[in-house]
Amino acid sequence: MKEELKEIYKSIKITSLSSNKNIVYYFCAYVPPELIYASNHIPFRLLPSPTYFDRTDEFIPKYLCPYLRSITEEILRKDISLPKVIFTDGCDSSKRIYEVWKDLSFSYNTYFLQIPFNEKEEDIKYYGDQLRNLFYSLDCKEERLIESIELYNLARRKIKNLEIEGVGRGSFLYLINNIFHSIDIEEFLNMNFSFKGKRGIGRFYLFSTMFPLEFIEFLEEFNLEIYFNDSCFGDRIQEEIKFYDDPFYSLSNYILKREGCVRRKSFNEKISMIIKRVREENIKGVIFYSLKYCDPLLFTIPILREKLREEKIPTLIIEDDYSLGIKEQIRTRIEAFLEMIL
């Protein structure tokens, strides 16, 4: 089934990039696909594969986010222009990439969402207004948005209720989550998913912002069960949206209040949540994928690791630039980690 999911996403990606008039592209989890779908467009999260940087160095500093550089590399190599793209100020790299894309005319219709750092009532209302402005810029009606939120809630419930176990669970859910963010949601609801892998040597917790599918598959080669994927588009964003009178407030409240992004949530809350999952799910250790030049991760991981060590929870930090170009060094780190804890 996992290979089928890979082919599904590959097919969606090829179709969207070759005939993309009705597609809205996005790269940040602060962009709600519900809003895009309600505007009679198909949301598409463009996921790059690990690559070496050949074309981007001419336009983008090497110290910017490798995930966003990989997307830019793919656009340059394919020599394409995307019709509609939504950017956010989720991090400094996102702001810089937005400016580069505008200068290079990678899209003839870009939109920039400004995200508050806090989650107080005024912040929720502010971001709700931001989403409202985006929605009306796409020429839509609010009735359609309520219907869209209901459909996405059904899809989240479907993912949450899946019975998936064993080695391969992590990569399987990774693929499902990415298809969820890249397809007509009604088509997604009609799809059937099932997976049961062999029992591994233990459950592990993966923490990051962005990482390629190939990384989680590499971990699974060591017979690890990646039980929880705590990343931007990972397992923690599958809670359902609560309805309020204003659908834009509903979306904003969901995005800002859900367990969140390393740029915003308090350390104590995040640490408590990780420890709770580790204890309740009998997880053997936490693996950090430290994306090179990702400032929020570089600031957060050392603090999280120290707190987890105090709780006697084993941790491993893997540093990479999204390319997996140092695979053998990563292999050595993983093998040493497993020898220590098993």
Amino acid identity, residue 130? Q
The predicted structure's pLDDT at residue 68: 93
pTM listed for this prediction: 0.94
Q: pLDDT tens-digit profile of 167-180?
A: 999 999 999 999 99
Mean pLDDT value of segment 78-101:
89
Lowest mean pLDDT among 62-66, 229-233, 268-272: 268-272
Contact 140, 38 (CB under 8 A): yes
State percent of the chain over pLDDT 70.
Answer: 98
The rounded mean pLDDT for the chain is 91
- Give CA–CA dist 153/155, Å, rounded: 5
Q: pLDDT tens-digit profile of 141-200?
A: 788 999 999 999 999 999 999 988 899 999 999 999 999 999 999 999 999 988 888 999
Domains contained in the chain, CATH given:
17-341 (3.40.50.11900)
Query: Is the pLDDT reported for residue 113 higher than 90?
Result: yes
The predicted structure's pLDDT at residue 20: 64
Torsion over CA of 26, 28, 31 and 32, rounded to 10 degrees?
90
The predicted structure's pLDDT at residue 163: 85
Q: Tell me how far CA of residue 110 lies from CA of 83, 121, 140, in angstroms.
A: 8, 28, 17
- Give CA–CA dist 182/159, Å, rounded: 15
- Give CA–CA dist 83/18, Å, rounded: 11
Q: Tell me how far CA of residue 176 lies from CA of 169, 234, 260, in angstroms.
A: 11, 10, 20
Mean pLDDT value of segment 284-299:
93
The predicted structure's pLDDT at residue 265: 59
